[in-house]
Amino acid sequence: MTDQVYLDYNASAPLCEDAKQAMIAAMDVAGNPSSVHASGRAARKIVDHARRTIADLLGGDSERIIFTSGGTEANNLALNGLEDVTVFTSAVEHPSVIEARPDAKRIPVDENGVIDLNALEAMLKDASDAGQKVLVSVMLANNETGVIQPVAKVGLLAREYGAKVHCDAVQALGRLPVDMGRLLVDMVSISAHKIGGPKGIGALAIAPGVMLVPQIRGGGQEKYRRGGTENVVGIAGFDAAAKRAEANMARMADIAQMRDRLETELASEAPELLIAAKGTDRLVNTSCLILPGMPGETQVMALDLAGVAISSGSACSSGKVRESHVLKEMGVDEPGSAIRVSLGLESTDDDIDTFVRVWSRMRGNAARKKARHAA
């Protein structure tokens, strides 16, 4: 970490020390996990141990954890791995879900970004009446607003109509319990770098009875569900980060207090400030702040120059100046004026103080400049 105040954990968490040390140790293991000699068996042991750790975290079966290159690949495998299905996704999903299946039917959301269960049920009924097989994909927590979706209720509806459910839990992992049984889902996507693990490694967990057509072919790895030599170093880091995330779930209460204080102080400073989905269940680490009249990209750049790192939306859209599809679906008037502040295990009260001070100064400077121009 640099001296910069880092408040962009939903984009990526800093690599934690546990993961770093596990990766360094794994670098000394030369073997391919598919080799039968001692060095290969040592690599396989690392992979198998991580598979059990992640399965325990998700309440699943280690034999049904598929390692991928990240959350995006996991989502693509889930959405394209089932044959002859009609896909329903919420209108506020991550781009890796929406763009994986542009033919999907969109489930609307309300003004808080929460899925419309009545609309979903009507869609499921129509599909059932037409004899269609359906896969419903609904994220557990939104990456931009932090809004938590009623995934278990989605699962209940899906079971009633014989549909399967995929859940993108990338943002929820380490912040909410992600138990496949309780969520009533058939597939869950997760990613290491959101919880202090390395970038470039993720996983898709599947329930018994889910048979996937591999999207990456060329080997028998991952029980023929995803070809390619396993990323042993990344998997070792994922293992360590997953253990750390589970051990620190109780810290979310402290993070909630910091996030709430940030929002309270900003609202007191700027009555015109809008906090997206403030009255709805959200991840305790996430604030989506809308300052009317000031583009989010301008805020991001001003804060960056002052030593504070935040974002203006999904990190997967970095470099692209476009308004948030999530906020548009929620009916927000100025979606381009939003920024996202997201906290993590390393965040401190001093970080919050710095952000509030810098943001307030930025807002004040912008207001004075606007007044001079008006005069």
Which residue numbers are catalytic?
Answer: 316
Task: Say how many C-beta atoms besides its own lie within 10 A of residue 161's C-beta.
Answer: 18
Tell me how far apart the alpha carbons of residues 143 and 150 are, in angstroms, rounded to a whole number.
15
In the chain, the DSSP E strands lie at: 5-6, 65-68, 86-90, 105-107, 134-137, 164-168, 187-191, 202-206, 274-275, 286-290, 308-309, 338-342
Tell me how far apart the alpha carbons of residues 254 and 260 are, in angstroms, rounded to a whole number.
10
Whether the CB-CB separation of 240 and 248 falls below 8 Å is answered with: no
Q: Are strands 105-107 and 187-191 parallel, antiparallel or unpaired?
A: unpaired
> Which residues are registered as beta bridge partners of 135?
87, 164
**What is the dihedral angle through the alpha carbons of 342, 344, 350, 355, rounded to the nearest 10 degrees?**
-10
Burial class (CB in 10 A: 0-12, 13-18, 19+), 264: exposed
